[in-house]
Amino acid sequence: MGRLNSTLGIITTIVVLGLILIGISNRHLITKTTGLDTLTEPDYITYYKKACELKDRDACNELGKLYDHGNGDVSIDYESAREYYKKACDLDNAVACNNLAYLYNSGKGINKHNGIAFSYYKKSCKLGNLTGCYNLGSMYYHGEGTKPSKYRAKQLFRKVCDKGIGAGCNDLAYMYAHGIGVKKDILEAISLYNDACQYGEASGCNNLGNMYANGSFGVGKDKVKAEQYFSRACDLDDVASCNKLESIKKISSRVDFETAKKACEHGGKVGCYKLGVLFSTKNSIVKKNDREAIKFFQKACNLGQSQACKRVGDYHINGNKF
């Protein structure tokens, strides 16, 4: 499937290859276009449809997105989305070709067909859409809808990486780190992961954080660098990185507090537990607050953090106090 996640990997959903390095991320992107200016009239959809009938490819794509995602005026209708994406793609709208390919690749509301998805990703890429090129690389990497070709995948990942698509850099880095389709080169992998991170791809930052945290692939352990990369990934809303960052440092500053909050908000049980600990004791960061402490302990417990469950039990058996 498309984009090779959050936390990362190439494939139909998100494939995490190992605890140390996150592999080829397979995140198909429904790319956005400016399209036509949104009209305020309640019948704006009618205008889009009229424009589409007059072969305005952007209007057709906008209609595809409306039916793909739905809004207050339109209910999700994947068959209609497919119809309008196809009209736009037939009119050489590169973004619509990628969006249409994604529907077939994911089986989102229509019958899954990787062969058709491959052909539309290929057209999207040929028309200049970098996300389409990235997704085409993913298809070649896994042999979805075509014979597998690590060589072509490498070429496409390099192409999009050179143009600022972080996911392409991350996936190419993974190939170099593991010697998949290329000669193993850790220095090149580190460089590419760093490019991915700089381009805003959380998986690239997370992979570097893991390398430095664990001293893997011949890289010396460096907690300072690991923290920097996990922090960057956490800022990009990568929950796993937020939790890993917390495992390196305690909540000893307001910045740490905000990091833990972000992790907890995204379902990070460690962050919730540490916030409970913070509010249950006197400290210089927040005022002791048993109500807040219990709230965070209960959330951490519900997320599977055993110590948090015990702390809630201790609180009640001690007469509702810490």
What was the pLDDT predicted at 140? 98
Please tell me the predicted confidence (pLDDT) of residue 142. Answer: 97
Phi and psi, residue 252, nearest 5°: -125, 5
Instruction: Give the helix, strand, coil percentages of the chain, each rounded to 5.
Output: 60, 0, 35
Closest CA to 209 of 16, 19, 15: 19
Taking the C-alpha atoms of residue 48 and residue 26, their distance in angstroms, rounded to an integer, is 32
Domain boundaries, the chain: 251-322
Instruction: Give the whole-angstrom CA distance, residue 247 versus residue 203.
Output: 18
Indicate the CATH number of 251-322 among 1.25.40, 2.60.40, 1.20.120, 2.50.20.
1.25.40
Helices (H), 249-305: 254-265, 269-279, 290-302
3-state secondary structure of 9: strand
Contact 60, 88 (CB under 8 A): yes
CB 80 within 8 A of CB 62: no
- This prediction has a pTM of 0.75
DSSP string, 104-142: HHHTSSS---HHHHHHHHHHHHHTT-HHHHHHHHHHHHH
Mean pLDDT, contiguous 10-residue spans, the chain (322 residues): 42 34 50 47 81 97 95 91 98 98 94 97 98 98 97 98 98 97 96 97 96 92 90 85 73 87 85 93 94 95 93 91 84
